[in-house]
């Protein structure tokens, strides 16, 4: 068996301990004689799995009792329409545009009402988080929407926007469980799990109870009403059983690691190895303003497309894979989620240093 260092933005690296545990339970899940992939979602065994997963997530994030946890399908992208359908009572919402994912959510919301863009960092290719201390919040806005960690551009809100009393809805797909959060600051905090938690195919949405009602847009499909899933404990229809199980194992892994404040420390230490090097390198540069740097997604460039491509190719041959940047940013992006070990980043930086030295020497000799 040979595993690479996988810097994919998502689906992404999972903790090896979890993969091994899941492998060990593949043929016979704890005496059931079957795999979790083969069992009824209505069985006692699965009921235990989903209950424990929810409880462990509640413990990790300190989710208050007046918030519901929903495990749903359709990815983070389906939430782009579910959120307005369920929340836009006045048919007005305010969106902060910090990259492609918030832009997509904003565009989708325009189908259901007035979606205002109240701030944007598009002017500098989304390389920073706009000042959100005094946004022109619409009096009638049903909520203010942000994408808290921008997977493609590598920015992260270090401070939540001043919503002037309006509900905050946040997409945390790529920073989910990377550090502690105060759930009460949000009306909805949600994310697709395939970035920083588990396998693809599920979104977890943590929703304040009073926002889950029958008062939704009249055409809302049953499957797109939060209440449908809340009333049925995320078992209205067959959920992604496998994903719930693996995510549950990741929650246990995170608890065993010491929880989210320990993860935050680890993530800060890990990201610093890469950022410190980028700040001192003569060849590679980060693309994001320092104050807004993400701990999870680190884009960088050499400034020369051919050199970028050469680096990505050589890195891959050396066992550092999925470093090619998003097509809209170019260059490279290292996604260094919870499951990426410190050693992976240290080895990547050692490789980058060696690549840089080789390149600089060559330039001198020309
Ligand atoms: C990946 C991503 C999405 C889209 O997720 P899907 O599950 O593929 O729909 C949305 N928001 C953010 C921040 C992402 O990183």
What pLDDT was estimated at residue 360? 77
Residue 300 alpha carbon to ligand 1 centre in Å:
21
Which pLDDT does position 362 carry in this prediction?
75
Measured between alpha carbons, how far is 350 from 96 in angstroms, rounded to an integer? 37
Cβ atoms within 10 Å of 13's Cβ, excluding its own: 23
Nearest to 167 by CA among 209, 104, 225: 209
CA–CA separation, 113 and 283 (whole Å) = 47
Average pLDDT over residues 5-30: 98
Q: Give the confidence band of 36 by pLDDT, cuts at 50, 70, 90.
A: very high
- Say whether pLDDT at 10 is over 70: yes
Q: How confident is the model at residue 364 (pLDDT cuts 50, 70, 90)?
A: low
Residues 154/104, Cβ–Cβ less than 8 Å: no
Active site residue 124: no
Q: Is 171 an active-site residue?
A: yes
Q: pLDDT above 90 covers what percent of the chain?
A: 96
- Catalytic position from the list 94, 101, 166, 253: 101
Q: Which atom of ligand 1 is nearest to the CA of 149?
A: 13
228-269: pLDDT as tens digits:
999 999 999 999 999 999 999 999 999 999 999 999 999 999
The encoded tokens of residue 315 equal: 């890195």
**Dihedral of alpha carbons 151, 153, 155, 161, sign:** negative
Q: Of all protein residues, whose CA lies closest to atom 10 belonging to ligand 1? A: 76
Tens digits of residue pLDDT in 168-211: 999 999 999 999 999 999 999 999 999 999 999 999 999 999 99
Residues with CB under 6 A from ligand 1: 10, 75-77, 101, 147, 151, 171, 173-174, 192, 195
For residue 309, name the pLDDT band (cuts at 50, 70, 90): very high
For residue 338, count other CB atoms closer than 10 A to its CB. 27
- Answer yes or no: 101 catalytic: yes
Look up residue 74 and give its two tokens.
Answer: 């359709």
pLDDT band at 2 (very low <50, low <70, confident <90, very high): confident
- Residue 33 tokens read as 């004689």
Coil/strand/helix, residue 293 = strand
* pLDDT for residue 83 is more than 60: yes
Distance 203 CA to ligand 1 centre (A): 9
pLDDT at 366 over 50: no
Which amino acid residue places its CA nearest to atom 11 of ligand 1?
Answer: 101
- Contact (Cβ atoms closer than 8 angstroms) between residue 312 and residue 326: no
> What does the block give as tokens for 309?
């491509």
Pocket test residue of 73, 77, 98, 189 for ligand 1, highest count of atoms within 8 A of CB: 77
Residue found by looking up tokens 């697709």 in the block: 192
Its sign, for the CA torsion 218, 206, 175, 340, is negative
Confidence check: pLDDT of 153 > 90: yes
Pocket test for ligand 1, best of 10, 99, 106 (most atoms within 8 A of CB): 10
> How remote is the CA of residue 189 from the centroid of ligand 1, in Å?
13
pLDDT in tens, 90-146: 999 999 999 999 999 999 999 999 999 999 999 999 999 999 999 999 999 999 999
CA of 174 to the centre of ligand 1 (A): 8
Residue that has been written with the tokens 């919301």 in this structure? 109
> What percent of the chain stands above pLDDT 70?
99
How far, in Å, from the CA of 204 to the mean position of ligand 1? 12
> How much is the mean pLDDT over the chain?
97
Q: Which atom of ligand 1 is nearest to the CA of 79?
A: 9
Q: Whose CA is nearest to atom 12 of ligand 1?
A: 173
Q: Which of 56, 142, 171, 292 is catalytic?
A: 171
Q: What is the DSSP letter of 334?
A: E
End-to-end CA distance of the chain: 42
């Amino acid at each position: 068996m040979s595993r690479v260092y996988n810097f994919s933005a998502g689906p992404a690296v999972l903790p090896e301990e979890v993969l091994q545990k899941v492998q060990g339970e593949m043929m016979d899940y704890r005496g059931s004689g079957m795999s979790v992939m083969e069992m009824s979602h209505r069985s006692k065994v699965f009921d235990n799995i989903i209950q424990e997963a929810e409880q462990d997530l509640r413990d990790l994030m300190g989710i208050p009792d007046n918030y519901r946890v929903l495990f749903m399908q359709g990815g983070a992208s389906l939430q782009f329409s579910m959120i307005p359908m369920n929340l836009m009572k006045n048919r007005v919402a305010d969106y902060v545009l910090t990259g492609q994912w918030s832009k997509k959510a904003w565009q989708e919301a325009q189908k259901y009402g007035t979606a205002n863009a109240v701030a944007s960092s598009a002017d500098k290719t989304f390389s920073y988080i706009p000042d959100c201390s005094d946004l022109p919040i619409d009096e009638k806005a049903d909520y203010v929407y942000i994408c808290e960690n921008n997977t493609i551009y590598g920015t992260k809100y270090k401070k939540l926007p001043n919503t002037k009393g309006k509900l905050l809805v946040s997409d945390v797909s790529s920073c989910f469980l990377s550090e502690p959060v105060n759930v009460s600051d949000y009306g909805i905090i949600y994310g697709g799990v395939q970035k920083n938690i588990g396998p693809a195919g599920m979104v977890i949405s943590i929703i304040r109870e009073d926002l889950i009602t029958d008062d939704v847009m009249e055409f809302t499909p049953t499957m797109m009403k939060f209440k449908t899933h809340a009333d049925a404990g995320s078992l209205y229809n067959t959920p992604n059983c496998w994903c719930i199980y693996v995510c549950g194992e990741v929650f246990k892994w995170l608890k065993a690691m010491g929880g989210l404040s320990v993860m935050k420390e680890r993530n800060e230490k890990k990201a610093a190895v890469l950022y410190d090097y980028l700040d001192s390198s003569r060849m590679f540069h980060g693309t994001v303003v320092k104050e807004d740097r993400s701990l999870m997604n680190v884009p960088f460039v050499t400034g020369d497309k051919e050199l970028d491509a050469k680096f990505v190719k050589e890195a891959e041959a050396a066992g550092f894979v999925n470093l090619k940047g998003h097509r809209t940013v170019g260059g490279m992006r290292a996604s260094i989620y919870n499951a990426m070990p410190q050693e992976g980043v240290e080895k990547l930086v050692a490789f980058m240093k060696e690549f840089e030295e080789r390149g600089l020497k060559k330039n001198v000799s020309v």
